[in-house]
């Protein structure tokens, strides 16, 4: 399956979603074996962290701690997508908007 970006996106920063990170929604076209295409939304994001420590060993340890906590960031990201976008879209569909 191929993904074609169709050019528009929306970016969100900490000021708009209450978490540190940069989140984006892109309009894409999914193409199945060159036959048919479907419009879709591609959600992406990242959580930037500063690696701290006075020595390279401390910095490496901090990096490992950040990586070990990936589940928290993933949970936060899923919550953001579900609560801010998908639930809102479902609610609007029910209201006929």
How do residues 47-91 score in pLDDT, each as one tens digit? 888 999 999 999 999 999 999 989 988 888 888 888 877 776 655
What strand order describes the sheet that includes 36-46? 2-12, 22-32, 36-46
Which bin fits 11, alpha (ψ -120 to 50), beta or left (φ > 0)?
Answer: beta
Domain count, the chain: 1
> What's the chain's Rg over C-alpha atoms?
18
Mean pLDDT of the chain: 77
Range of the domain at 13: 2-95
* pTM for this model (two decimals): 0.60
């Amino acid at each position: 399956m191929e993904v074609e970006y169709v050019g528009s996106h929306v970016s969100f920063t900490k000021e708009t979603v209450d978490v540190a990170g940069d989140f984006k929604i892109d309009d894409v076209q999914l193409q199945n074996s060159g036959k048919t295409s479907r419009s879709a939304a591609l959600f992406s994001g990242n959580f930037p962290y500063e690696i701290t420590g006075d020595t390279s060993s401390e910095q490496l340890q901090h990096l490992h701690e950040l990586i070990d906590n990936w589940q928290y960031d993933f949970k936060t990201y899923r919550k953001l997508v579900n609560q801010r976008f998908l639930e809102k879209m479902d609610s609007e569909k029910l209201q006929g908007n």
